[in-house]
Structure 1
C-alpha cells in the first residue's frame, strides 16, 4: 500500500477546520439568541454571520485541493506555506471585516477576498506550469 503524506496542507486544513467550526458556532449563537430556527430572521447580524461562514466554506475547499495537488507534485514548502498563510489569514480578515463592519470601505474584508483569490489563481497557475 502506497501512503501519501501532505503535512503542509494538513496544517492549513486543520486551521481552516477550526475557523469553519468557530464561524458555524457564531451562526448558532446568533440563532439561539434571536430564537431563529432557519435563516437570519431578517437580522443584518444574522446575515453577516451566515455569509462569513458560507463564504469561508465556499473558498477554503478549492484552495486546499489546489495546495494538496501542489504538494503532491513537489511544490516548494515555502510556496505552500505562503499559500496557507494567505488562505487562513485572508479568511480571518474577511470574517472579521464582515462580522465587525466599518461605516466606510472595509479594508479587512477586501484584503480577505483578495488574498483568497490570489491563492486560488496563483496555485492554479503553478499547477499548470510544474
Structure 2
C-alpha cells in the first residue's frame, strides 16, 4: 500500500540491524554486557545506533503520510534516498576511523535535517491544501 515508504523502511531497518550488530560485536569482543564500560568505541557504536533509532522513525512517518496523501513519487524517493544516505554517512562518521566530529557526521546531520525540513514543509502544504 505504501511501496515507496516500505522500500526506505526496509533499507533503514537493515541499517539499524547492522548498527545493533556493531554494538553487540564490540560488547562481546570486550566482555562488556551492559553500558560501555568506559570504552570509547562502544560509546560511539551505541550512540550511532541510538541516533539512527531516534531519527529514522519520524522521517519514515513523514514520508508515509506524504505517500498516503499522494505526494509526488520523485519527491518521496528523494526524501527516502537522502534519509538512507544521510543515516549511513552519519553512522560511518560515528563509528569509522577518526570518529570525532568529521565530514561524514556533518553530511549525515545535514541530510537528515534536510529531509525533516523538506518533508515537514511539504506535509504542511498538503495539509493546508486539504
Structure 1: which 4+ aligned runs deviate by more than 3 Å? none
Superposition TM-score, scaled by structure 1 size: 0.94
**Deviation at 1:121?**
1.2
- The question of 1:66 aligning with 2:66 is answered no
Q: Which runs of 5+ in 2 are unaligned?
A: none
**Residue 39 of structure 2 corresponds to residue 35 of structure 1:** no
Secondary structure of 1:41 counterpart: coil
1:128 has 2:124 as partner: yes
In 2, distance between residues paired with 1:127 and 1:30? Answer: 40
Query: Are positions 1:97 and 2:93 aligned together?
Result: yes
TM-score, structure 2 length as denominator? 0.94
Per the alignment, residue 8 of structure 2 pairs with 12
Cα distance in 2, alignment partners of residues 50 and 112 from structure 1: 17
Residue in structure 2 matched with residue 24 of structure 1 by the alignment: 20
CA distance in 2, matches of 1:59, 1:40: 22
1:20 Cα deviation from its structure 2 partner: 0.3
Query: How many residues are aligned here?
Result: 126
Gap regions ≥5 residues in structure 1: none
